[in-house]
Structure 1
Amino acid sequence: MHSSIVKYHVRLKFDVEGVVEKADLIGAIFGQTEGLFGPEMNLNELQKSWKVGRIEVSLESKGDKTHGEVLIPMSTDISTAALIAAAVENVDKVGPCPAHFTLLGMEDVRVSKRRVIVERAKNIIKEWASKSVSESEELLKDIMEVTRRSKLMTFGKEELPAGPGLLTSDTIIIVEGRADVINLLRTGIENVVALEGVKIPESVIKLSKEKKAIAFLDGDRGGDIILKELSQVAKIDKVLRAPPGREVEDLTPIEVLGILKKEVPTQPPEEAHVPFSENLSTKLQELFPSINGTLEAVVLDGNLDQIMRVPVNELVQRLESTKEAKYLIFDGIITQRLVDMASNMGIDVIIGHRMGDITKKPTDMLLKTFDELGLE
């Protein structure tokens, strides 16, 4: 019987008044239990149907006496196993010699297997937790950072929807509605305020005279009307429009950045002022499908030509020996260690799946995630 189908181990000890062999013990067990409970309960029949396995006997003869143990592996139910154990205990002779059998116990083999499986499961959890804890912490910090960056505030007595960078930036971006503000926040642009209607709020008029003001309006008839009204009462330094028939709230982050280009800071003042070119946007859209989910990194030169493509776990080592790298696009987490190394090598842009805890960011480097660029 294969060990995988054994349910119970019936273990008995025996004492025989005489010297006997293993064959004598097994013969006595089979012979004296036969027919007690019908033919279907005979050990021979149970062995043929794989209900009872090979009976193991260990014995020692000393001083005209023999003692030892018998192990009977069984795959029956517990009741049948108990019945067989009681029948073997009833064996009183081995050959011509008086004998006495005593049950030591019935072990549920499945309990032992479950115990081993549970212990192994605990070890698997410990090993997995130790490997994934750092990434989990990075993801949690990333979520908290996104929440912080995306938090809406209100501005002025009209309580207009605005970004948290509105008052600290030298430039403001004026959009039409609350949904436009949310979309720009998602792109990483925080110096934004919404008009919330055709009538231009006094708070926006006053602020436009104190800072450089850029109007970023929908590419439809409504945008035309608002632009006409805005131009009459506020100081507007530049006008940007969504593509014809499109609204600002529906633009992807890449489209937003492509329209704004160098005209406005896409980050708060302490962030980098690295331009995100249309060529880079196009290259990124080409690369993303082939790199997403691969745990690989692609390094590009200043002409957006591929220098190398490597697994993420080899990235730091390979970067050390790479020259002319300007753009790093990879399926992983942007960490402080990677940023420091890339800065020393003159890399301008890093784009990854997640942003780690970056406490020291170079002013000449742009860091973005695929999600911020509308690719996920």
Structure 2
Amino acid sequence: MEDTSKYLIHADVTADGVVERSDVVGAIFGQTEGLLGDELDLRDLRQSQKVGRIDVEITSTKGQSHGHVTIATSLDKVETATLAASLETISRVGPCRADLDVTEIEDVRAAKRKEVVERAKELLRTGFDDSVMSSEEILAEVREHVRVEDITEYEGLPAGPRVTDSDAIIVVEGRSDVLTLLKYGIKNGIAVEGTNVPDAVAELTRHRTVTAFLDGDRGGDLILEELSQVGDVDYVAFAPAGESVEELDHHQVFAALRNKVPYDTVSGLNEPREAVAATDGSATPAPVRTGATPLETSEREEEEEEGEGATDPGRERPSVATADPESSPTVESAASASPDVTDDETTATRAESEPAESTSVYDHASAVIREGTDRVRFLDADAEIIDETDASDAFEALESTAEPPITVVLDGIVSQRLLDLAADVGVERIVARTLGQFTKRPTEPRVYEITEIAETAPVDR
């Protein structure tokens, strides 16, 4: 009845004497019987469940009784009001004189409506997610989920899916570091899970190009020391001082890997982190080999961002800054200048003594990309132009060229399709306005953005 009741009749009862609940209920049924006819007879309405249970609360003090009566009904307004008025005809309760006054007819549905409104307001405040994800955010979240799901195990250690077949691996400290690399698309990481380097990792380092990518704390130094004793380390990269790899964002991860240095340059140092160029630029750069050109030093430290196609550190890499590597001044020759000679005098002397250099790859890149020509230019080994066409026709032009170029300078975005074709025809390097998203990055050609060329391979004019 409680679920179907529409109204509640509230009435106060007063009796000149001591009466009980049963006396009040009996008086209600007895004195209203036949008063309103068969259709509104209280007993019939009770049996048909159109009237609910009659609740009576009554107390007696000093020879008088006072109480409250509540009757639930599913009748309509008119019938309910008529039934309520009939209750006020009751003049006796048991042997005592009594009065019954209806104080209120409560609409149960109104109370429920109020509860519904209040609950609806609460749901509006807390039940809806007002954030609307953009298409980029949706795709990024899906990609991140897929990358995290890609984590595997190598000999019981957390690892990326490419550890087993990649020529290069990145050794990190823990599982969360592997997950961080996977989140940013680097799938060849493996964790040592503590300072005790497992035998499986030590054995793996003997057959791969190894980059140790460690936290910027004392623990990272200890892991590097043990890893160098039980295995082979080719390159070293550290997170910024006081931070761990798992805390780094996309930019910091790739910046740290780009700033890696050969292990030989930091081995034997008490604090190898101080010799590695930190991602925030606060640490001193890695030592430069005597007699090495600035370009060679820069190229040796450059990191393959995706971590999948690291090259053999012993392999000779092509020059990006100039067509003729022998024409680049060495650090040794530059250092031999007299300390009393000013920079302007040194520059003037060099300009007078050295013959004019031929046009370099960087010059071509500046002419094509920085000028916004929307063109693509193919160069041979001497940085001479083989062909030039619109950037939109780069793939077709490269596919049909009779003489495969050594360098491709593109005022546009390097796509995976163009990169794969360049690798097939033997292109050694690509310089472009910007890089696309690569699912697989081959070891050759090397791919540079124009801003990277300016930073890592400056041309001394």
Q: Same fold (TM over 0.5)?
A: no
**TM-score, normalisation: structure 1:** 0.41
**TM-score, normalisation: structure 2:** 0.34
Q: Which has the higher contact order (CA 8 A, sep 6+)?
A: 1
User: Is the radius of gyration larger for structure 1 or structure 2?
Assistant: 2
